[in-house]
Structure 1
């Protein structure tokens, strides 16, 4: 039959050239690479996560003061709303003394802290010459009245000492204040008109405002 090999003969396979072998090898390698990628992509790992959350709140620090032996506590946070200490300071003369107290404590729930008495400032409209004619000192006391008896050698001086007084603009030392409306800090102020006050200051008026700056402990 046409196209068939004669009986007893075998069909010879085409001889593969080196180029054909190379192409086939590349095809096999390519197939192996594809299989390798496919095998890698089928690998898997189990995953799980845990989450946690927390809430945070800020502490507070606030002060209030009283000028009537702790009877009425209010916040006096600016010079415009300053508590008025009860000096009986009308008609002061050279060498005369005057006393007044202010008590300071933290509010309920407040942290503890420290109090630092800042130097007195001349009130608006006051006579600067008369302001300069006064000296003062301040003690922290725990009992009794705010008067001359509080200014002994063993007193806890915030401003001045048992033997010295300073100008109204002088700042004082710091002192601790208890937390959460605890025991108040009692300040006793002693104001003295200098014996050297000029005669021209007769009939004039002045005033001072002090800041008691509080800082929380934490």
Structure 2
């Protein structure tokens, strides 16, 4: 009869449930799959630099307005213009030297090293010295005042030739040369047997850059 319900098979409802579960499970799988396939955007920046080493070099002159040259070894030392007349006990001799950096050089520090000598060692021992840094005027006794800037010795005392001096500054790029005045004195106690002897004296002025 048409009004009679068709009997439901006992496993029909179970199959529908399984189909629903399968659809839900498929949705979960699709969800996980879409997360794994997401892509990340990226971008980069690069920077580069070129580095050039600075330079430091000094040169000297033995007279105002004279020729500037490098004297980098004891064999090529600048010959300071001391009075060529022979020295006697208590006599004093003076000579200047100007030192500056070369064009484009950094600033730095000058350090006066103790002198080395060649020749009569007894004559070297009979000589004392002192050095001042000065701004103007002649290199003579007038520079060695109580208020002077002493590199070696002091206004009250002189020191042996081998004594290391103090450091002083030198400006960058050839500006404002550093002027030094050397004073050499023969001791009053110098032995009479030193007459006619000679000794060579060489000072190193070591420059070091500030940076």
TM-score range, shorter chain: 0.7 to 0.9
Return the alpha-carbon distance in structure 1 between the equivalents of residues 203 and 100 of structure 2: 16
1:162 deviation in Å?
A: 1.0
Deviations 1:133-160 (A, max 9, x none): 1000111111111111111112111111
Could you state the TM-score of these two structures normalised by the residue count of structure 2? 0.81
Q: Secondary structure at the match of 1:149?
A: helix
Return the alpha-carbon distance in structure 2 between the equivalents of residues 146 and 158 of structure 1: 14
Q: Secondary structure at the match of 2:199?
A: coil
2:161 aligned to 159, 168, 171, which one? 168
Aligned to 2:21: none
1:36 deviation in Å?
A: 11
Equivalent residues in 2 for 1:56-95, closer than 5 Å: 56-95=51-90
1:45 deviation in Å?
A: 2.5
1:127 deviation in Å?
A: 1.2
Aligned to 1:54: 49
Displacement over 2 Å in runs of 4+: 35-48
2:113 is the alignment partner of 1:146: no
Q: Secondary structure at the match of 1:207?
A: strand
Deviations 1:66-124 (A, max 9, x none): 0012421011111111111011144211111100010001111111111111111113x
Structure 2 unpaired stretches of 5+: 1-29
1:43 deviation in Å?
A: 4.5
1:42 deviation in Å?
A: 4.4
Count residues in correspondence: 188
Could you state the TM-score of these two structures normalised by the residue count of structure 1? 0.78
Q: Pairwise CA RMSD of aligned residues?
A: 2.3
